[in-house]
C-alpha cells in the first residue's frame, strides 16, 4: 500500500531543511510506497521589528534578523545541512507566505514537481541567499524545477491557491491534545502552531502516526513501516547514485543515504569531482553536489 505523509513545513524553516537527508532516505528506500503532501505552515506573515517566534527565541533581541542568523547557524551545526545566514543582512525576506503559496501552485502540477520546486526554493534561500519572497522571483524558479512556467504563473495568481494555503495554515494551527502533551506547540506572531516539521503518517484503517520536530531517520522509517509501507530497495545507493537520483545533494544527505561516515563520503565526493563526474557548489557551511 501507499502510505500518505502529510508534512507540515515552510520553505524557510531551517529545521525542515535540516531533515532533508531523512526525507530523501524515505524516498530512496520506499519509492512509490510513500507519498508526500506538503502542508505549508506559514512561518512568517511579515518579518520585521515586531516579529516573534518561540523557535530559536527569534525576536527576543534587538533584531529578529540577528536572531535568525544565530538560529540558522545553530541548526546548521546540529543537522549538518549547509546554510548561509548572511541572507538576513544582505537580502532579508519580507515574508514566507509568497513562497508557501508558490509551493501550493507547484503542487497543482503533481506531487513530485511540488517537491522539486520546494527543494529548489530551499536551495535558493539557504545556500544561495536569494530573496525569494515575491512573485517574479518565485516564477523564475519554476522552470528550473521542471514546471510548466506559464501554468505555474496563472495558478500562483489564482484565488484557489490562496484558499489552499489558508487550509494549510488552519491545519498547521490545529493543536491536538497529543501534540500539546508532546511539547510540539510553538507560538509565532502571537498564534500557536505545530512545531515544524511535523509529519503525519496515514496507514490502513485510518491509523495515523505523528512525528514532531527533527527526528533521526530510524524514527521516520519506523513510522512508515508501522503505517504499512514496504521498502522497495534494500541496498543503499553509492554517492554517485545518490546524486543521479536526486539531482543535487548536500554532503550530509550523501552521508545519510549511503550510510557511510563523513570522512569516507567527503573523500569519495571529492574523488568523483577530480574525475570530472561531479561538481561542487560551495556554501558558507558546506557544499552541494551535482553531476558535472
pLDDT category, 151, cuts 50, 70, 90?
very high
Report the percentage of the chain scoring pLDDT > 90: 94
SS (H, E, C) the chain: CCEEEEEEECCCCHHHHHCHHHHHHHHHHHHHHEEEEEEECCCCCCCCCCCCECHHHECCCCCHHHHHHHHHHHHHHHHCCCCCCCHHHHCCCCCCHHHHHHHHHHHCCCHHHHHHHHHHHHHHHHHCCCCCCCHHHHHHCCCCCCCCHHHHHHHHCCHHHHHHHHHHHHHHCCCCHHHHHCCCEEEECCEEEECCCEEEEECHHHCEEEEECCCCHHHHHHHHHHCCCCCCCCCCCCHHHHHHHHCCEEHHHHHHHHCCCHHHHHHHHHHHHHCCCEEEEEECCEEEEEEC
Residue 183, Cβ neighbours under 10 Å: how many? Answer: 10
Determine the Cα–Cα distance for residues 114 and 85; give it in Å rounded to an integer: 25
pLDDT category, 190, cuts 50, 70, 90?
very high
Q: Which domains does the chain have, with CATH numbers?
A: 3-198 (3.40.30.10), 239-291 (1.10.10.10)
State phi, psi for 5 to the nearest 5 degrees. Answer: -115, 115
Q: Is the pLDDT reported for residue 217 higher than 80?
A: yes
pLDDT attached to residue 61: 78
Instruction: Encode pLDDT of 254-272 as tens digits.
Output: 999 999 999 999 999 999 9
pLDDT attached to residue 250: 98
pLDDT attached to residue 257: 98
Do β-strands 34-40 and 208-212 pair in parallel, antiparallel, or remain unpaired?
unpaired
Q: Taking all residues of the chain, what is their mean pLDDT, rounded to a whole number?
A: 96
pLDDT category, 1, cuts 50, 70, 90?
confident
Round the CA-based radius of gyration of the chain to a whole number and report it.
18
Amino acid at each position: 500500500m501507499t502510505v500518505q505523509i502529510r508534512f507540515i513545513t515552510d520553505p524557510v524553516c531551517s529545521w525542515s531543511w535540516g531533515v532533508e537527508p531523512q526525507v530523501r532516505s524515505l524516498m530512496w528506500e520506499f519509492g512509490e510506497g510513500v507519498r508526500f503532501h506538503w502542508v505549508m505552515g506559514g512561518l512568517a506573515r511579515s518579518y520585521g521589528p515586531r516579529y516573534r517566534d518561540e523557535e530559536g527565541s527569534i525576536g527576543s533581541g534587538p533584531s529578529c534578523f540577528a536572531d535568525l542568523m544565530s538560529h540558522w547557524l545553530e541548526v546548521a551545526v546540529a543537522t549538518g545541512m549547509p546554510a548561509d545566514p548572511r541572507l538576513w543582512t544582505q537580502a532579508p525576506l519580507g515574508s514566507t507566505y509568497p513562497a508557501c503559496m508558490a509551493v501550493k501552485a507547484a503542487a497543482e502540477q503533481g506531487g513530485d514537481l511540488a517537491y522539486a520546486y520546494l527543494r529548489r526554493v530551499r536551495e535558493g534561500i539557504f545556500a544561495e541567499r536569494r530573496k525569494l519572497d515575491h512573485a517574479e522571483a518565485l516564477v523564475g524558479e519554476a522552470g528550473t524545477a521542471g514546471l510548466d512556467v506559464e501554468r505555474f504563473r496563472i495558478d500562483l495568481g489564482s484565488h484557489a491557491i490562496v484558499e489552499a494555503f489558508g487550509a494549510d495554515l488552519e491545519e498547521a494551527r490545529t493543536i491536538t491534545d497529543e501534540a500539546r502533551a508532546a511539547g510540539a506547540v510553538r507560538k509565532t506572531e502571537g498564534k500557536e502552531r505545530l512545531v515544524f516539521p511535523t509529519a503525519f503518517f496515514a496507514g490502513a484503517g485510518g491509523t495515523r502516526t505523528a512525528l514532531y520536530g527533527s527526528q533521526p531517520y530510524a524514527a521516520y522509517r519506523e513510522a512508515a513501516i508501522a503505517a504499512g509501507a514496504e521498502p522497495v530497495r534494500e541496498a543503499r545507493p553509492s554517492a554517485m547514485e545518490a546524486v543521479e537520483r536526486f539531482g543535487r545533494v548536500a554532503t550530509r544527505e550523501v552521508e545519510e543515504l549511503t550510510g557511510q561516515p563523513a570522512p569516507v563520503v567527503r573523500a569519495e565526493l571529492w574523488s568523483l569531482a577530480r574525475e570530472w563526474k561531479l561538481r561542487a557548489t560551495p556554501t558558507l557551511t558546506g557544499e552541494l553536489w551535482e553531476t558535472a
